């Protein structure tokens, strides 16, 4: 636990100094570390509303047969996994009528929008567009304890 907290502290420090994200220890980052930008989330919203909202609802609350993409159940599903896992799920299976139809950039933007709706903080750099790199960002539903 203490190791995690310490690493989280490093990430915040790096972020606040505006250093390149590649310089942060890869395993230290989580969705709480400002891993997307507001601008990216806005782009993602436009894609989401066109491609995803018909099933998942324009507020991400899900439909009768499509799960919500926000809220406790959604976050519990992904808690402890990585953004790479979530990205792969989107890439492999969405939109359901034509999986893989969207570009990596569009999928990444949608992911950024989902993070913003789920109230994970925005930062200064955009999300990676490759699953292997996104696997370095942990999805943690619970905000880490306050750092010194």
Partner 1 sequence: MFLRKAKNAGLLCVSVLTALGFIPSAASAQYKPKDTEWPSYAADLAGTRYRPLDQINASNFNDLEIAWRIKTDNFGDRPEYKLEGTPLMVNGVLYATAGSRRAVIALNPETGELLWIHGEHEGKRGGAAPRQLSGRGLAYWSDGKEERIFYVTPGFRLICLDAKTGMRIPSFGENGVVDLKMNDDQEIFPDLETGEIGIQSAPVVAKDTVIIGAAFREGMTPRSMRNNKGYVRGFDVRTGKRLWIFHTIPKKGEFGYDTWEKGSAEYTGNTGVWTQITVDEQLGLVYLPVESPTSDFYGGHRPGNNLFGETLVCVDLKTSERKWHFQLVHHPLWDMDISSAPILADITVDGKPVKAVAQPTKQGFLYVFERVTGKPIWPIPEKQVEVGSVPGEWYSPTQPIPSKPPAYSRNGVSIDDLIDFTPALRDRAKEIASKYHLGPVYTPPTVSKLEGPLGTLTLGTASGGTNWPGGSYDPETHIAYLYACNACVEPIGLVPAPKEISDLNYIAGVAGNEVQIMRGPGENAGADSPKPPKKRTPSQYVPMNVDGLPLIKPPYGTITAINLDKGDFVWQIAHGETPDVVRNSELLKGLNIPRTGQETYNVGTLVTKSLVIAGEAQVTTTADHPRGAMLRAYDKASGKEVGAVYMPAPQSGSPMTYMIHGKQYIVVAVSGGPYSGEYIAYTLPTAGE
Q: Provide the binding-site residues for partner 1, judged by CB under 8 A.
A: 45-46, 49-51, 53-55, 57-59, 61, 63-67, 70-81, 85-86, 89, 92-93, 95-99, 119, 141-142
Query: In the bound complex, what is the minimum distance in angstroms from residue 22's beta carbon to partner 1?
Result: 26
Tokens of 101: 């139809």
- Comparison of 37 and 77: residue with beta carbon closer to partner 1: 77
| Nearest in space to 126 (alpha carbons), one of 23, 39, 49, 47 | 39
- Comparison of 9 and 95: residue with beta carbon closer to partner 1: 95
DSSP, collapsed to helix, strand or coil, labels residue 82 as: strand
- Comparison of 10 and 122: residue with beta carbon closer to partner 1: 122
Query: In the bound complex, what is the minimum distance in angstroms from residue 147's beta carbon to partner 1?
Result: 15
Which helix (DSSP H) or strand (DSSP E) does residue 108 occupy?
A: helix 104-117
Q: CA 147, CA 7: separation in Å to the nearest integer?
A: 10
Query: In the bound complex, what is the minimum distance in angstroms from residue 18's beta carbon to partner 1?
Result: 29
Q: Are 116 and 36 in contact (CB under 8 A)?
A: yes
């Amino acid at each position: 636990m203490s190791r995690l907290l310490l690493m989280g502290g490093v990430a915040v420090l790096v972020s606040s100094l505006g250093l390149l994200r590649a310089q942060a220890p890869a395993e230290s980052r989580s969705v709480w570390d400002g891993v997307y930008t507001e601008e990216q989330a806005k782009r993602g919203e436009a894609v989401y509303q066109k491609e995803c909202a018909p099933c998942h609802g324009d507020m991400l609350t899900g439909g009768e047969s499509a799960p919500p993409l926000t809220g406790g159940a959604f976050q519990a599903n992904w808690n402890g996994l990585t953004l790479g896992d979530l990205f792969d799920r989107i890439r492999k299976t969405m939109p359901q009528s034509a999986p893989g139809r969207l570009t990596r950039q569009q999928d990444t933007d949608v992911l950024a929008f989902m993070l913003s709706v789920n109230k994970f903080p925005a930062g200064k750099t955009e999300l990676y567009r490759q699953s292997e790199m996104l696997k370095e960002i942990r999805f943690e539903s619970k905000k880490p304890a306050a750092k010194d």
